[in-house]
């Protein structure tokens, strides 16, 4: 079973918070898959990763023909596909309420949601209940003063 962390964004957008979490992922020697709701959102996140201040976050997606030819060596893979994990990443990031069909092969799952959006908040609560019932180890983090605090 994957360990699933719910990341309640209250201060920063996903475009701001995600690069920092991915930087920590790469620093720990892990690879990541970031699942997004659609191709337009993928473009936004792609640009946010390239423009993250003082960070180098090499990544690719099937939308980039050159990156797709070398998908198996991409440390971060952006996708709208449910089972797209060409480099065998063990960390999965889900943004904006994107659902996952399963977590096979993933050690950790990061579920980032906008706590200022009532629809995303309600959806995150439903996912929490569903995943707890499925027996996953869950944790909750909320932004406070520029850092993540673990909650109950």
One digit per residue, the tens of pLDDT, for the chain of length 152 reads: 889 999 999 999 999 999 999 999 999 999 999 999 999 999 999 999 999 999 999 999 988 888 888 999 999 999 997 888 999 999 999 998 898 878 989 999 999 999 999 999 999 999 999 999 999 999 999 988 778 999 85
- Round to the nearest angstrom and report the end-to-end CA distance of the chain: 20
Rg (CA), the chain: 15
Q: According to the model, what pLDDT value does residue 101 have? A: 76
Does residue 10 lie within any of the structural domains?
A: yes
Domain extent at residue 117: 3-143
Does residue 149 lie within any of the structural domains?
A: no
Q: According to the model, what pLDDT value does residue 145 have? A: 75
Q: According to the model, what pLDDT value does residue 66 have? A: 86
Does residue 150 lie within any of the structural domains?
A: no
Count of structural domains, the chain: 1
Does residue 103 lie within any of the structural domains?
A: yes
Does residue 50 lie within any of the structural domains?
A: yes
Does residue 152 lie within any of the structural domains?
A: no
From 84, 20, 11, 27, select the one nearest 49 (Cα to Cα). 20
Q: Is 41 exposed, middle or buried (0-12, 13-18, 19+ CB in 10 A)?
A: middle
User: Quick count: other Cβ atoms within 10 Å of Cβ 114?
Assistant: 19
Q: According to the model, what pLDDT value does residue 152 have? A: 56
Query: CA 139 from chain center: how many Å?
Result: 15
From CA 7, how far away is CA 59, in angstroms rounded?
22
pTM (predicted TM-score): 0.94
Does residue 86 lie within any of the structural domains?
A: yes
Does residue 151 lie within any of the structural domains?
A: no
Q: What is the CATH number of the domain that holds 17?
A: 3.40.50.10110
């Amino acid at each position: 079973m994957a360990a699933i962390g719910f990341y309640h964004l209250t201060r920063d957008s996903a475009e701001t918070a995600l690069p920092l979490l991915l930087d920590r992922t790469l620093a720990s020697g892990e690879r990541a898959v970031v699942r997004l709701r659609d191709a337009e959102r993928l473009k936004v996140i792609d640009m946010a990763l390239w423009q993250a201040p003082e960070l180098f976050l090499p990544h690719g997606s099937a939308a980039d023909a050159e990156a797709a030819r070398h998908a198996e060596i991409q440390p971060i893979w952006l996708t709208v596909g449910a089972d797209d994990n060409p480099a065998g990443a063990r960390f999965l990031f889900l943004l904006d309420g994107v659902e996952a069909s399963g977590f096979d092969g993933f050690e950790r799952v990061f579920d980032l949601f906008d706590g200022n959006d009532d629809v995303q908040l309600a959806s995150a609560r439903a996912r929490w209940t569903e995943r707890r019932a499925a027996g996953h180890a869950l944790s909750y983090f909320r932004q406070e003063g520029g850092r993540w605090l673990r909650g109950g």
